[in-house]
Amino acid sequence: GHILFVLFMLVGLNRRLSEPSMIMPLMVWSTTGLLVTALVVDQVRLCVMLIFFAIVQMGVLQASLRQFMALAGYCVLGYALVLGVVCVYWPEVVDVQGEWIQWGLFSAMVLAAMLVASEISTIRFQLGKRNQQLAEIVERIHDMAVKDELTGFYRRRHAMELLSKACGQSARGAYQLGVVYLDLDHFKKTNDQYGHGMGDLVLQRFADVTRRHLTNQDFAARLGGEEFMLVLPVSDPEEARNLVEGILLGMRSQRFKDAPGLAVTVSGGLAMLNPGET
């Protein structure tokens, strides 16, 4: 049986399961083998059943408390069934009272083990929750370091690193690369006339419009103020031009409730890097 579990994992079929480690099926299988062994042995039946605690150790860091309780119930009831079969069919070769006393002791030990497992499960859950919170904090700090807070686009420094990698991939013939420079026209005048709050809203609108036109392979960066860069891995230059025109038209159609007379236009340029060029 254990060989089948090993083969199952070697061929990768366990990866399709919700629990790839298969720890619970393995513990159930091992416990079943233990119960079968306890059925055929005589004098050392309790000693055999004590191996159950070694089986529990396999899942102490993975199985949930509910799984532990289910396994414990299966083992205790299975042990009782084994004793029932033995007492019915071979009463002359066993100490019936002694066997049931041993079953009671074993059940008490299992109960104590489940209390310990409960504490371990609680600690593991708390540690997992704290690790998740820590990972979220680290991710937020990373986003703050590499992304502009107002637009959500990458900051200049990180964008230059990504651009360098993209150029390297394009030079190796992976794809054509379009690099777009965009500038919001008369942005300083917008700030002076309507206030910085409106200027921030214009930047956010621009980011929203731009994001709607980008694919998962593209990325945008705020170089500073009202200056932006788009990096577009494309199959042909026309694809990049259409994307840029969509952004320009999208911004021209924007209307602002608190500034009815405000019309935002964008200027830009497109440079193409063909595969194999450096």
The CATH class, in words, for 154-273 is alpha beta
The tens-digit pLDDT sequence of the chain (278 residues) is: 556 655 555 555 556 655 656 678 888 888 998 999 988 887 778 888 888 888 888 777 777 778 888 989 999 999 999 999 988 888 887 888 888 999 999 999 988 888 887 788 788 888 889 999 999 999 888 888 899 999 999 999 999 999 999 888 887 776 789 999 999 999 999 999 999 999 999 999 999 999 999 998 899 999 999 999 999 998 788 989 999 999 999 999 999 988 888 999 999 999 988 876 65
C-alpha dihedral (23, 26, 28, 30), degrees to nearest 10? -130
Q: Write down the H helix ranges in the chain.
A: 2-10, 23-40, 45-49, 52-57, 65-89, 96-146, 156-171, 187-194, 196-213, 237-252
Query: 230-240 burial string, b = 16+ CB within 10 Å, else e?
Result: bbbbbeeeeeb
Residue 243 three-state SS: helix
**CA 65, CA 80: separation in Å to the nearest integer?**
22
Sign for the CA dihedral angle at 124, 126, 127, 133 comes to positive
| Separation CA 157–CA 42 (nearest Å) | 74
Residue corresponding to tokens 């090993």: 6
């030079």: which residue's tokens?
171
CA dist 171 and 209 (Å) reads: 30
- Dist. CA 247–CA 11, nearest whole Å: 49
Return d(Cα 24, Cα 26) in angstroms, integer: 5
Q: What is the pLDDT of residue 198?
A: 93
220/204 Cα distance (integer angstroms):
13
CATH 3.30.70.270 intervals, the chain: 154-273
Amino acid 6: pLDDT: 54
pLDDT at 15: 61
The pair of three-digit structure tokens given for residue 14, joined into one six-digit string: 């366990």
Q: What is the 3-state secondary structure (H, E, C) of 54-97?
A: HHHHCCCCCCCHHHHHHHHHHHHHHHHHHHHHHHHHCHHHCCHH
Query: Rounded to the nearest 5°, which phi and psi values hold at 121?
Result: -65, -40
With beta carbons less than 8 A apart as the criterion, state whether 100 and 83 touch. yes
d(CA 38, CA 75): 11
The predicted structure's pLDDT at residue 116:
84
pTM value surpassing 0.95: no
